Amino acid sequence: MSREASRPVDDSPLWWTVDRLVRAFADRELSPVEVADMAEARIEETHSSLHAYVARTPELARRQAREAERAYRNGDAGPLAGVPVSIKDAFDVQGQVTTYGSLAHPRQVARADSGAVRRLRTSGAVFVGKTNVPEFCQSATTDNLLGPDTANPWDPAATSGGSSGGAAASVAAGTCTLALGSDGGGSIRIPAAFCGLVGLKPTYGRINGAGGLRAFSPFISAGPLARSVQDAARLFEVLGEGAAPAAAPARSVIAWCSHPEGRPVGRVLLENVRRATESLRALGHRLEPVDLRLDGWEQIFGPLVLAEEGERRGSLLEGEHPLTRYERRSLEAARRLAPATVSSARSAMAAYRERIDTYFDDFDVLVTPATATPAFPIGCRPGSIAGRRVDRLWGAFPFAVPFNVSGHPSIVLPVGFVDAMPVAIQLIGRRGADFELLQLAAELEAALDLDLYNPESGTAPMSPM
């Protein structure tokens, strides 16, 4: 291990904010090449415990780092020049293999970058590797037949969530500064919540031409995973190609729902989220308890996801490559899906979006827990929460998908710990109000003042002590 990789977490540039990192590059106090080498060493250090990456790209990273170094010398560095970024293996990186987490794509070399990756490349970002995903991103935990499950840096016996589980683990373990993820059914927000990160699902359609795996098409968006709201905003600005932020209301009217759809939530987790809502109140925002009517999303989401999966990958049932149990079951369910069910789901989606829109006639922001539980042991989805039986598919994380179906932007950020595992709150904004949502999240983050990545406090994951 290199001397740099073994430095304390709080002294390593891999844990710095984007702004601090690019200032150090611009002032020639630090070299992007040095940081790229640190990232590779940190990936090596954590790989056997976490399995966050399906492919490392050290040669590409060093080449991009050298280009960033030249750009700083020439005065034309992009907004993320030299910043280490991991790329979810749902996106193509030119010249690299894209597996989509499946044995059906073991040697599929990308001819060109996906749109989101191209924007990151133009920004000067340094690509340190491709991060692990469940097969075709069809699970909220990151397990596939390519290798071991992706683990959580806070406890490698626990799941990192999914489908951007490798992306979340890569940032939380300090192997990179930012991660590119995608969220079609909570796939950024669930692993961000489990790994103590900020995760943003932008407004549906807000990030145009992002490309990536063709799945969850009516619901999905590319988005950032980061250790702070400000860092998440930096990556979002690049993905959105520099759209100008609007000013958030000085004092927001916030709808607070502790148990959406009456679903159970872990008691201590909920206490953490309640304290965070009180911080919002203390900041001058008005909170009103509301029983959000989110029911109906499963009857829309399930049929439309299955219909697309069957259309695009149904032939794999006769293929030579083995499939995960969950992917096989999805494809088999797609074959049984009645066309009328799909048509009904498509018709219901517009009405669902209008229903959620009506909440924003009275409120600026909606607030819920991000998940119902902290990260659970790998392979052990909870069958009960707070003494009540729950569905194993969605029981631990039922609060993200409604806003994929509705298309509204939502962000999660950490608010505390349960049994030494991070837990998070979810904020949901009006469609198109992504920057306003980021501003409120930054205000809450500052008020909470959680130092999740300070090893002196004993709260840094995978800390090289």
CA angle 374, 379, 383 (to 5 degrees): 65
CA-to-CA distance for 102 and 134, rounded, in angstroms? Answer: 8
Rounded CA-CA distance 121/109 in Å is 18
C-alpha 372/C-alpha 385 separation (Å) is 8
Residue 187 bears catalytic tag: yes
Q: 177 with 231: CB under 8 angstroms?
A: yes
Q: Are strands 253-256 and 365-369 parallel, antiparallel or unpaired?
A: parallel
CA angle 407, 433, 189 (to 5 degrees): 55
CA 281 to chain centre: 27
Question: Is 429 exposed, middle or buried, given 0-12, 13-18 or 19+ CB atoms closer than 10 A?
Answer: buried
Distance between CA atoms of residues 208 and 109, nearest Å: 24
Buried b (16+ CB within 10 A) or exposed e, 245-262: eeebeeebebbbbebbbe
Per DSSP, 320 falls in state: S
88 labelled catalytic: yes
- Give CA–CA dist 352/293, Å, rounded: 10
AA identity, residue 226: A
Catalytic position from the list 86, 102, 163, 279 = 163
Check 31, 88, 164, 410 and give the catalytic one: 88
Crossing angle of the two packed helices 18-26 and 229-239, in degrees rounded to 10: 70
Integer Cα distance of 63 and 190 in angstroms = 33
Q: Is 163 a catalytic residue?
A: yes
Tokens encoding 23 = 């200032």
Q: What is the DSSP letter of 203?
A: P
Q: Residue 148 gets which letter from DSSP?
A: S
- Find the helix or strand (DSSP H, E) in which 286 lies: strand 286-289
Amino acid identity for residue 432 in this structure: G
DSSP states of 47-89? HHHH--EEEE-HHHHHHHHHHHHHHHHHT---TTTT-EEEEET
Structure tokens at 116: 């989101």
* Catalytic one of 114, 187, 330, 463: 187
**Nearest alpha-carbon partner for 69 in 54, 50, 82, 53:** 82
User: Known catalytic residues?
Assistant: 88, 163, 187
